Chains A and B, each alone.
Chain A
């Protein structure tokens, strides 16, 4: 039976090539693996190996021919060919263009009312959340630098080693890339790791494992391999620790499908959201803030207290302008709202709580009421969270706006060390007041 040899595609982008040389002649015996011809592709000159065996009975495209389309028959292996004819590729059918819309998020459920509450620091709230979830599920463990014997670089994991032992509270060597990958692998096999980064600045060492392994594997595996894991630690500026220890990574992670990104402000946020994060079957980036660790807020005492991921909270109601903030900037927004009230401007303050998935519905409903908006973030402006939120507002409720959306953000510089310069670089309440006043 005769077998046609087709012009092969030798690179992902090749559609045609030049048949520069034949290395076999008609009548030659060809064995699988023999080089039969040389072809010039869009990238390089390549050798073509025979796949089948047989006697070369005809050459259909002569040496030197240019622009030979992929899949054109270039030669025939005649009688004596042992392999069956290669199946001809069907003419490529261009896929009909179908517009597929992103699924619309389900309608948000109203937040449950949690009755009794008591003062608690953010630090304790985080610890209590981890302890509660570790008690409930033996697959949950904590790994990170200084999390066990030292009780946490910022004392967030205080007491956990005593209660859960070294099997479940694991001091890691300083090896972010390695232990992050290890935790992601453990999660792929069904464990539920909590990875503490001493700060998120050091997670840059491990960001490949977070994005390429944790966030994308579910999709690439057609839904087979999930990765239930929480990456947590302080994010953003602390106090006078310089440029390498002060970056906000909110927009870096919020950019990526396959992740959820949570940024708590209060103790209730910290406890309720971290418990939900640990239970969530997906990879979660949990952005804490060192300065908030020591702050005290009222937190519900109900042992079942959790907060839903993906739902923003209106911290203060207002009618004239919407301030959209997350993490430590919620406090800045509330201070600005106080100052604005004195000037007769009623500001509504939204605590986003989660950056991805973003609760844009709550933001849009507020903007439709106030007709003005200013976003707040500690990070840099370019391609930042404020840029994204304001774009979504423009897309959803442009006609309700009485002024262009505004944004307040950290200055576009590496954070300086000097006390005066650092203060000049980070958003202050009066920046927000000034940004709001520009809208009137």
Chain B
């Protein structure tokens, strides 16, 4: 816990441009992964605007440091589960941009062969368990993934992401109780982006320090600057060590922000443009990482190369998502039950 306490201090007090923290290689990887998510989401927004993506589409722009920082603390076999705002989580686990984008366009090359959509994708291979559309449901499910680790006596952990809005659901508290009672290796990550659709945390939640939400069950926790990938990685290290040591669940509250609307059809009248602009210009995780890379002596050309690389991956994904065929009509009747 000493380490955790120290991380808490760091998380709260560090400035985004402090040059200590992640080494050059890790920072470079973080920069690249965050940029990939950002560019991917921008492209998804664009394809939505062209009518190529339908239904609900929840972009992750602004929150990239959270999934990227946490992913860096995880190992092979650890599980991830989240809500419908899931594109960033999938890319962070190493799922391919092509498969994610093709699912957004509802094509056979998508991770769910076009049958899930933006909110419902999975990858057994990358241990990504979805992609869930019912606010809060993934919290009990993630607790169950952690249960499976404990049952099998592995040292794997499950990272269970949910929003500030979801944090008020009854089953979240039921899960906290179960996880603490059964000492399950579950890292609960509240991505507090200040709003659940149009309702601010102040208007939805009587408690204003969500990191304390697990306190009645003695769940160890940290409140973290979720716009700072360094701080996220450090806090995640502490949480992972805690869970792997068999000490039960851990709660991370990530203070973060989404720049775009709740979904594509959000008129966004519940907050001012100035508020968004201020976060974008002063706290942006990608700008922060880029700045730090420069301080570490990274030259402009190298960064440019990453930018180009990311752009190429995203364009390739967008092309694939438009050329991959729609699922065969026979797909309608498959995967309802496992046969045999």
B139 within 8 A of A: yes
Residues 81-97 of A contacting B (Cβ, < 8 Å): 84, 86-90, 92, 95
Nearest Cβ on chain B to A225's Cβ, whole angstroms:
5
CB pair A178 B178 closer than 8 Å: yes
Residues of A within 8 A of B177 (CB): 173, 175, 178
Cα of A258 to Cα of B45 in the assembled complex, Å: 32
Cα of A208 to Cα of B138 in the assembled complex, Å: 11
CB pair A185 B129 closer than 8 Å: yes
Residues of A within 8 A of B19 (CB): none
Residues of A within 8 A of B79 (CB): 189
Cα of A100 to Cα of B333 in the assembled complex, Å: 8
Cα of A39 to Cα of B141 in the assembled complex, Å: 40
With contacts A9-B51, A71-B50, A173-B181 taken as known, whether A221 is within 8 angstroms of B140 at the C-beta atoms is no
B218 within 8 A of A: no
Nearest Cβ on chain A to B317's Cβ, whole angstroms:
12
B-facing mask of A52-82, CB < 8 A → 1, else 0?
A: 0000000000000000001100000000000
A-facing mask of B230-245, CB < 8 A → 1, else 0?
A: 0000000000000000
With contacts A10-B265, A173-B181, A219-B115 taken as known, whether A185 is within 8 angstroms of B141 at the C-beta atoms is yes
CB pair A220 B115 closer than 8 Å: yes
Residues 115-153 of B contacting A (Cβ, < 8 Å): 115-116, 120-124, 129-134, 137, 139-148, 151
Besides the known contacts A51-B49, A71-B50, A221-B111, 17 further A-B residue pairs in the complex with CB atoms under 8 A apart: A33-B259, A35-B273, A98-B329, A100-B329, A102-B333, A177-B171, A179-B140, A184-B144, A185-B129, A186-B147, A190-B148, A208-B134, A212-B137, A218-B335, A221-B122, A225-B129, A257-B336
Could you list some 16 contacts between A and B, CB below 8 A? A8-B48, A9-B48, A71-B51, A87-B322, A92-B51, A178-B178, A179-B140, A181-B139, A183-B144, A186-B151, A217-B122, A220-B120, A221-B120, A222-B112, A222-B114, A226-B338
With contacts A51-B46, A212-B133 taken as known, whether A220 is within 8 angstroms of B141 at the C-beta atoms is no
Which stretch (B27-35, B52-60, B187-195, B201-209) binds chain A? B52-60
Cα of A11 to Cα of B267 in the assembled complex, Å: 10
Residues 61-93 of B contacting A (Cβ, < 8 Å): 79, 81
* Chain B residue nearest in CB terms to A88: B50
Residues 143-178 of B contacting A (Cβ, < 8 Å): 143-148, 151, 170-171, 174-175, 177-178
CB pair A185 B335 closer than 8 Å: no
B291 within 8 A of A: no
CB pair B144 A188 closer than 8 Å: yes
With contacts A51-B42, A212-B137, A226-B338 taken as known, whether A177 is within 8 angstroms of B174 at the C-beta atoms is yes
CB pair A185 B144 closer than 8 Å: yes
Cα of A167 to Cα of B181 in the assembled complex, Å: 13
Cα of A87 to Cα of B318 in the assembled complex, Å: 9
Residues of B within 8 A of A172 (CB): 178
A341 within 8 A of B: no
Residues of B within 8 A of A178 (CB): 140, 143, 171, 174-175, 177-178
B287 within 8 A of A: no
From B148, B170, B337, A260 is in contact (CB under 8 Å) with: B337
Which stretch (A40-48, A127-135, A327-335, A413-421) binds chain B? A40-48
With contacts A191-B148, A220-B120, A221-B130 taken as known, whether A89 is within 8 angstroms of B140 at the C-beta atoms is no
B332 within 8 A of A: yes
Residues 240-267 of A contacting B (Cβ, < 8 Å): 257-258, 260
Cα of A12 to Cα of B265 in the assembled complex, Å: 7
Residues 287-340 of B contacting A (Cβ, < 8 Å): 315, 318-319, 322, 326, 329-330, 332-338, 340
Residues of A within 8 A of B56 (CB): 12
Residues of B within 8 A of A282 (CB): 337-338
CB pair B267 A209 closer than 8 Å: no
From A41, A86, A95, A188, B46 is in contact (CB under 8 Å) with: A86
CB pair A185 B140 closer than 8 Å: yes
CB pair A221 B112 closer than 8 Å: yes
CB pair B315 A84 closer than 8 Å: yes
Residues of A within 8 A of B111 (CB): 221-222, 224
B21 within 8 A of A: no
Which are the 8 A-B pairs with shortest beta-carbon distances?
A185-B144, A181-B140, A178-B174, A8-B49, A11-B265, A185-B141, A222-B113, A281-B338
A397 within 8 A of B: no
* Chain A residue nearest in CB terms to B339: A281
CB pair B335 A181 closer than 8 Å: no
Q: How many interface residues does A have (CB within 8 Å)?
A: 72
With contacts A86-B46, A184-B141 taken as known, whether A218 is within 8 angstroms of B175 at the C-beta atoms is no
Nearest Cβ on chain B to A193's Cβ, whole angstroms:
8
Residues 21-42 of A contacting B (Cβ, < 8 Å): 32-33, 35, 41
Residues of B within 8 A of A217 (CB): 122, 130
Nearest Cβ on chain A to B132's Cβ, whole angstroms:
7
With contacts A12-B55, A100-B330, A226-B338 taken as known, whether A209 is within 8 angstroms of B112 at the C-beta atoms is no
A-facing mask of B264-293, CB < 8 A → 1, else 0?
A: 110111000100000010000000000000
Nearest Cβ on chain A to B112's Cβ, whole angstroms:
4
Cα of A89 to Cα of B151 in the assembled complex, Å: 50
A6 within 8 A of B: yes
CB pair A258 B336 closer than 8 Å: yes
A103 within 8 A of B: yes
* Chain B residue nearest in CB terms to A177: B171
Residues of B within 8 A of A12 (CB): 54-56, 264-265
Residues of A within 8 A of B134 (CB): 208, 212-213
CB pair A222 B335 closer than 8 Å: yes
From A44, A95, A186, B144 is in contact (CB under 8 Å) with: A186
CB pair A189 B144 closer than 8 Å: yes
CB pair A220 B116 closer than 8 Å: yes
Residues of A within 8 A of B113 (CB): 222-223
Cα of A71 to Cα of B46 in the assembled complex, Å: 11
From A43, A70, A190, B51 is in contact (CB under 8 Å) with: A70
Residues of A within 8 A of B340 (CB): 281
Pick the most buried of B122, B146, B330: most chain A CB atoms within 10 A of its CB.
B122
CB pair A225 B124 closer than 8 Å: yes
CB pair A224 B124 closer than 8 Å: yes
A180 within 8 A of B: yes
A203 within 8 A of B: no
With contacts A180-B140, A213-B141, A220-B115 taken as known, whether A175 is within 8 angstroms of B148 at the C-beta atoms is no
CB pair A41 B115 closer than 8 Å: no
Residues of B within 8 A of A100 (CB): 329-330, 332-333
CB pair A41 B265 closer than 8 Å: yes
Nearest Cβ on chain A to B246's Cβ, whole angstroms:
14
Nearest Cβ on chain B to A183's Cβ, whole angstroms:
6
B-facing mask of A187-216, CB < 8 A → 1, else 0?
A: 111110000000000000000110011000
Cα of A281 to Cα of B131 in the assembled complex, Å: 21
